Structure 1
Amino acid sequence: MNELEEKIKRAFGEVAVNKGLALRHEVARLPRFISEYLISKYCAAYPDRETAFSKLAEVVAENFPEPKDKDRVLYKLKRLGIVHLMDEFKVSIDLKRNLYLLHIPCLQIYGALADEGIVRKFERTLSGMWGLGTLEYRPDLPENMDETIWPILLIDIEPFQVYNIDLRGFIENRQKFTLNEWIDLLITTIGLNPNAYSQRQKLLQLARLIPLIEGNVNLMELGPRATGKTYLYRNLSHYTRIYSGGAISPARLFFDARLRLVGDIATHDLVAFDEVSRIRFTNPDEMAGKLKDFMVDGFFERGTLKRAHSGCSLVFLGNIEKEEGIPTKEIRYALPDIMQDSAFLDRIHGLLPGWEMPKIMKSEEHLAQGIGLAADYFAEIIHEMRKESFRDIINTHVEFGDNFTIRDENAVRKLASGLIKLLF
């Protein structure tokens, strides 16, 4: 352990973790913010590291099935009456039928049931919560059920990510580090090796976090494959939603008028559109209008939902090849037609030059092996920091030239506020 790692341990205690352990195959299928939580838990329970990983591997193998194992799990549930599953459980409320509907992603089940007591105790299940759930087979459904309801009831859950967040303590600990030390700590925390990146590349990596720490930021990043664009958003925080190609509807993104349910923009801190050139919208004209409206000030409406607001940030990720360090074609051609409109591009607050990022080719070279902050802890910190604003500081110390439009000024304030939160 080097001097900086010892300093991190002294300052942050139990939330300072060995990031290299999350690379082990036993937990490779889990998002990093979950694997690091479980590793810390099992290493604390079993002082011998190999014993801890052996126990953890058994739990993951038994309780986190792959989609192909769905029938095996359902057979076990029917035979035993109860199964335990590790997943991100999400509850939605059906007022017409007075039901708490449960989504079980690992089984691709959207119409199971949740006990009301679970929802009261853990309201985070309404936006999605990772945990070890106890599912009970309930073949005798009440009369208000129909064939769309699965006879499965969530009767208990042991939640993951259960830190008591002390934001003031985090800010005080920041003052114990120099700026360069802090940057290296953050780079390690997001799972990368700071020694593999230049100072500019480190700052560009951290700029990817701005939409997570600052509300209503619209960011675009174009660059080659395998530079970690999607990896960060998928593995750092459970407050994100990623669309990877395919069709997206206004109902899914904004509001489903039929089910009277708000979409992902209303329930997440960040929605990322990965491989934007392959994204298809089921109603392009409606989607284009609603996206552009939302990107101005965070307000949206659809059907019976009037003038709703969300602080959700939007990130648009696209692949573009480079030659001698620069893109091989004009960047707008990496975007779908709906996003090539100048009115849409004017609403983007920042363009990250992903072509400046090196490809992540070798884990021992590019991925973190040392001490950083636990991903789930850091995700909660930056989630809380979204409530803070440093725009007044920017207004006091920054003077905009005559060539800046109002949108330009707003973009600078948002991006600078996010970077100030991250770095200082």
Structure 2
Amino acid sequence: MQSEYVMDALDSKLNELFDGKVVRKDLLHRIKKGTNVPTFVLEFLLARYCASNDPAEIQEGMEAVLSTLQENYVRPDEANAAQSRVAMKGKHKFIDKVHVRYVEKEKRHWASLENFASQRIAIGERFYRDNDRLLEGGIWAEVVIAHNDIDADAYAFYVEDLRPVQLSRFDFASYGDAKKAFTRDEWMNVVLRSVGLEPSKLSHRVKLHFIARLAPLVEPNFNFIELGPRGTGKSYFFSEFSPYSTLISGGQATKSVLFYNNARHKIGLVGFWDTVAFDEVGGIKVKDPDTIQIMKDYMANGRFSRGVEVIADASMAFVGNIDMSVEQIVNSTEYDLFQPLPEQFDLAVMDRFACYLPGWEMPKNSSAFLTDRFGLITDYLAEAFHHQLKHSNRYEEVSKRLKLGSAVEGRDEKGIKKTLCAFLKILHPADSPTDEEFDEYVAYAVECRRRVKEQMNKRKPDDEFARINLSFFDRNGREVVVYCPESLSASATLEPARRRLRAETEEENGVVASASPSPVRQPTNVLEPLEAPASASEPESPTERHYTIAYGDTGHSYDTIFGPYLPGAKSIVVEDPYIRMPHQIANFVRFCETVVKAATVRRIALITSYDQQTDMAGLQEKLDELKESLLEYDVALEVQLNERMHDREVRLDNGWIIKIGRGLDFYQKPEGWYAVGATDLSLRRCLETKVDVFRNPPSKG
């Protein structure tokens, strides 16, 4: 029997002042392990069924949540059964992410569910008229799908009802009034528990980092960047915390998708979301230079022009990985902390970042940091942030209290003030901080902006960004110069040598530069030797990756996902239970083509499954044909059928393991077999899926 939960002081206060708007986060963790449904969806159900502290009621509510998920949430491999259920029952309610697209040649809209495997679900205009985001990235909803019995119609299913999974009403005044009963530190702990973290396990500085991660969700047009090691949860707040945020994972960032589609006369993602976040920012492909120019305009003032003048509130967040050690970078004369950014992100883009969060200081994801205490329902807190982004402006309040030093220039001041506004909205939604608290926020905001300026100063061959000693005047009138901890004693960062400018000047004056170093003061603690950056002719060593392919993404193929990890592999094991339908076998053939191009592989073992509908004779015939074809490339294919398997992963004998949530079958059906993307998978739109690439010690023999 489960022991009775004992509330602490913060639990009691939270339950008293936010009755019906709190949930125990350990309940979320227990359910979360068994499903990939976003946090705000699960808490939507927990709030409905488990809004109590009575053990019996909670247990009953948990059973109701699990029953609801079992009945209404469909996993990707159950899509065919879900369609059959609707056909037999006439209609059924699902919890799923719903997308709507307009098909120009048919002059009508079609809906699709991520896990229902139909791209042609009829939908009434009122649904996508009242929920714009259905057309731009999709939304999670409770949706009733009904069966269409009219044979003459070109569709089998239609949307009978749709309810977005988020609060229908939000009262900001009562939210602010209830918050006033908490001290600043108590409220900071409430916010951290609400996002699933246990504040008692975190240092005060790390708490501030987590608060800063929330800034793009609460402050409009806030340009945020976090770079650091893998596995610190950088993208979580943008993918699962808020229904008002969307995460772009890899692929191409086009001006039509992000900003404005001239052909459709429709605004892009910035018009529909509070936050547009870019995961794995180093992998963003920007082919059109106009995209970067429009991004610069938008990041500068929240507006841009593409034939029409567009104004939007969406913040932009960029998260990515740094592979080198931070100590090595800050003590290097060659590298800087913007190293992972795409080459198209020039100094003008970097100068627009208000806050660079030091991701290398964040703890690795671990259950040790998860809370089992009460917190606000995620959706409720997300609504509070959404309300403040749209309706609250703290800029004047900040300007009256803030006095900055002479080194702070225009963009520095704007970035610092916007970070301060975000902290006030999160931690003081209806009150004001004390002078001591305000000074703490100012110091943090100045540090986050200084980190941006230091790296730009390192890149620029002249002194345009040389005024890096940003300062402010505290409550006692004392000027405080703020430093970044990682570069406090790094001469290579604080006083970068202007070697490029000197070389250019000497060349103009006809002076031949000598091979010996110029007589400038060299940093005393440079780590030697530093690895040289990979040249264009030297491919980078493959690294572990954990990312999400978003619904509708392009740019992902078996070559891009598996190709970097194949060199040196001789044997591959593919476990995928769904290599049975013609299109799934075709996907496996394309995968084998990628393997053959690696040249070293001599064996492929496929472990798959079958069901009662599988055409075993047809399956065997197609796989035998593939076997014969592979033998011409000196590759042996072995096939093993196992009807009880469920895992999806590809194991290479060089130690790499690639797990894809949907296996090899993560592509949408093309619009037609004569449309772009029909044969080139890098141009075909994808379904949403997670990809995890990690390494085990290479097998011997």
2: CA distance, partners of 1:251 / 1:139: 38
Aligned 8 A contact 1:322 1:355 in 2: no
Q: Which residue in the other structure is 1:84 paired with?
A: 93
Which residue matches 1:51? 60
Equivalent-residue separation in structure 2 for 1:295 and 1:137 (angstroms): 46
Q: Which residue pairs with 1:153 in the alignment?
A: 158
Does 2:233 correspond to 1:228? Answer: yes
Hey, what's the Cα distance between the residues in 1 that align with 2:324 and 2:105? 54
Of residues 11, 17, 31 in structure 1, which corresponds to 2:17? 11
Name structure 1 gaps, 5 residues minimum.
Answer: none
Q: TM-score, normalised by structure 2?
A: 0.55
Structure 2 residue 224 is the aligned partner of structure 1 residue 219? yes
Distance 1:374 1:354 in 2: 26
C-alpha RMSD over aligned residues: 2.7
Once the two structures are TM-superposed, the CA of residue 372 in structure 1 deviates from its matched residue by 0.8
Q: Report the counterpart of residue 39 of structure 2 in structure 1.
A: 32
Which residue of 2 is the match for residue 132 of structure 1?
142
Report the residue type matching 1:167 in the other structure.
F
Q: Distance in 2 between matches of 1:284 and 1:118?
A: 34
**Partner AA of 2:308 in structure 1:** K
Q: Verify: 1:204 aligned to 2:204, yes or no.
A: no
**Residue 338 of structure 1: SS of its match in structure 2?**
coil
| Partner Cα separation in structure 1 for residue 247 and residue 414 of structure 2 | 25
Q: CA deviation at 1:11?
A: 1.0
Match of 1:373 in 2: 376
**Do structure 1's residue 42 and structure 2's residue 49 form an aligned pair?**
yes
Equivalent residue of 2:264, what SS? coil
Match of 1:390 in 2: 394
SS in 2 for 1:411: helix
Q: Measured at CA, do residues 400 and 173 of structure 1 come closer, stay the same or move farther in structure 2, by a change above 3 Å?
A: same
Distance apart, 1:249 and its partner CA? 2.4
2:220–2:274 CA contact under 8 A, matched in 1: yes
Tell me which residue corresponds to 1:287: 291
Quote the residue 2:302 is aligned against: 298
Q: Quote how far apart the aligned CAs of 1:330 are.
A: 2.6
Equivalent pair of 1:321/1:327 in contact (CA under 8 Å): no
- Asked whether the equivalents of residues 206 and 362 of structure 2 are also in contact (C-alpha less than 8 Å), the reply is yes
**How many angstroms apart in 2 are the aligned matches of 1:294 and 1:301?**
9
Does 2:421 correspond to 1:417?
yes
How much does 1:164 deviate?
2.5
How much has 1:151 moved relative to structure 2?
Answer: 4.1
Residue 262 to residue 152, structure 1, CA distance change in 2 (3 Å): farther
- In structure 2, distance between residues paired with 1:245 and 1:167: 36
Aligned to 2:173: 168
Q: Partner of 1:188 in structure 2?
A: 193
SS in 1 for 2:196: coil
Query: Does the 8 Å CA contact 1:288/1:338 hold for their aligned counterparts?
Result: yes
Q: How does 1:245-324 map to 2 (within 5 A)?
A: 245-281=250-286, 283-302=287-306, 306-321=308-323, 323=325
Q: Is 2:249–2:278's contact at 8 Å kept on the other side of the alignment?
A: yes
Shift of 1:268: 0.4
Q: Which amino acid aligns with 2:263?
A: R
- Aligned with 1:287: secondary structure? helix
- Please name the residue that 2:688 is paired with: none
What is the total number of aligned residue pairs between the two structures?
A: 413
State the distance in 2 between where 1:158 and 1:418 align. Answer: 30
Cα distance in 1 between the residues matched to 2:251 and 2:374: 38
| 3-state SS in 2 of match to 1:136 | strand
1: distance between equivalents of 2:329 and 2:236? Answer: 21
SS at match of 1:333: coil
Q: Would the aligned equivalents of 1:224 and 1:319 in 2 still touch at CA under 8 Å?
A: yes
Cα drift, residue 155 of structure 1: 0.9
Alpha-carbon distance between aligned partners in 2 of 1:44 and 1:191, rounded to the nearest angstrom: 17
Call closer, same or farther: CA 1:259–1:9 in 2, change over 3 Å. Answer: same
1:13/1:337 CA distance change after superposition, 3 Å: same
Per the alignment, do residues 374 and 270 of structure 1 end up closer, same or farther by CA in structure 2, a change over 3 Å counting? same
CA distance in 1, matches of 2:24, 2:329: 36
Structure 2 distance, partners of 1:383, 1:97, is: 36
Give, in angstroms, the shift of residue 81 of structure 1. 3.6
* 384-393 vs 41-50, greater mean Cα deviation: 41-50
Show the counterpart of 2:28: 22
- Residues 22 and 47, structure 2, Cα contact 8 Å, conserved in 1: no
1:371 CA drift (Å): 0.9
Q: CA deviation at 1:336?
A: 1.4
Unaligned runs of 5+ in 2: 1-6, 429-701
Q: Give the letter for the 2:318 counterpart.
A: F
Task: Give yes or no for the alignment of 1:331 onto 2:341.
Answer: no
Please state if 1:401 is matched with 2:401.
no
Local SS of the residue matching 1:14 = coil
> If each structure's strand is expressed as a fraction of its own residues, which one has the higher value?
1
- TM-aligned CA deviation for residue 195 of structure 1: 1.4
Q: Which has the higher contact order (CA 8 A, sep 6+)?
A: 1
CA distance in 1, matches of 2:117, 2:290: 29
Deviation at 1:332, TM superposition (A): 1.8
**Greater fraction of residues in helix:** 1
The 8 Å contact of residues 74 and 96 in structure 2, kept in 1 or not, is answered as: no
Distance 1:325 1:189 in 2: 33
User: Measured at CA, do residues 322 and 181 of structure 1 come closer, stay the same or move farther in structure 2, by a change above 3 Å?
Assistant: farther
The question of whether the paired residues in 1 share the 8 Å contact of 2:326 and 2:360 is answered with no
Of stretches 102-111 and 260-269 in structure 1, the one that deviates more from structure 2 is 102-111
Compare 75-84 and 402-411 and name the one that shifted more.
Answer: 75-84
Shift of 1:375: 0.1
Query: Contact between 2:22 and 2:51, CA under 8 Å: does it hold in 1?
Result: no
| Separation in 2, partners of 1:320, 1:234 | 20
Counterpart secondary structure, 1:131: strand
Identity of aligned residues (%): 28
Counterpart residue type for residue 398 of structure 1: L
Q: Are the aligned partners of 2:28 and 2:43 in contact in 1 as well (CA < 8 Å)?
A: yes
Displacement, 1:30?
Answer: 1.5
